Chain A
Amino acid sequence: MLKRLTHTFIHVLDQDEALDFYVGKLGMVVNTDADLGAMRWLTLNFPDQPDLELVLMVPGPPAYDEATSAQIRELVTKGAAGGGVIFETDDCRGTYETLKAAGVEFTQEPMERFYGIDCGLRDPFGNAIRITQPPDGPVVVPSPEELEAQS
Chain B
Amino acid sequence: MSRAIEDRNRRMLRARDTMDRAFARSLDVPGLARVAHVSPAHFSRQFRATFGETPHRYLQRRRVERAMELLRETERPVTEICLDVGFNSLGTFSRTFRDVVGEPPSAYRARFAADSALLVPACWAMAWLRPAG
Contact = CB atoms under 8 A, between A and B. Distances in A.
Given A107-B17, A114-B117, A126-B13, A74 B6 contact: yes
Given A148-B73, A151-B70, A151-B73, A113 B122 contact: yes
A142 interface: yes
A115 B2 CA distance: 40
B74 A151 contact: yes
A107 B21 contact: yes
Contacts of A78: 9-10, 12-13, 50-51
Contacts of B129: none
22 contacts: A73-B6, A77-B5, A77-B6, A77-B13, A78-B9, A78-B13, A78-B51, A105-B17, A107-B17, A114-B117, A115-B119, A118-B121, A120-B123, A122-B13, A126-B10, A130-B123, A132-B121, A141-B117, A144-B117, A147-B73, A147-B74, A151-B74
Q: Secondary structure of the A side of the interface?
A: mixed
Interface in B1-43: 2, 5-7, 9-10, 12-14, 16-17, 20-21
B73 A79 contact: no
Contacts of B9: 74, 77-78, 126
A13 interface: yes
A108 interface: yes
The bracket for how many chain B residues form the interface is: 20 to 34
Given A78-B13, A78-B50, A148-B73, 20 more contacts: A13-B6, A74-B2, A74-B9, A77-B13, A78-B9, A78-B12, A79-B16, A107-B17, A113-B122, A114-B117, A115-B121, A120-B123, A122-B13, A126-B9, A128-B123, A130-B123, A141-B119, A143-B115, A144-B73, A144-B74
A77 B10 CA distance: 5
| Chain B interface, >50% SS class | helix
Contacts of B50: 78
B83 interface: no
A148 B76 CA distance: 8
A59 B6 CA distance: 13
A21 interface: no
Contacts of A111: 122
A102 interface: no
Contact of B121 (A77, A126, A130, A142): A130
Contacts of A107: 17, 20-21
Interface in A74-118: 74, 77-79, 86, 105-109, 111, 113-115, 118
Given A78-B13, A114-B117, A128-B123, A108 B20 contact: yes
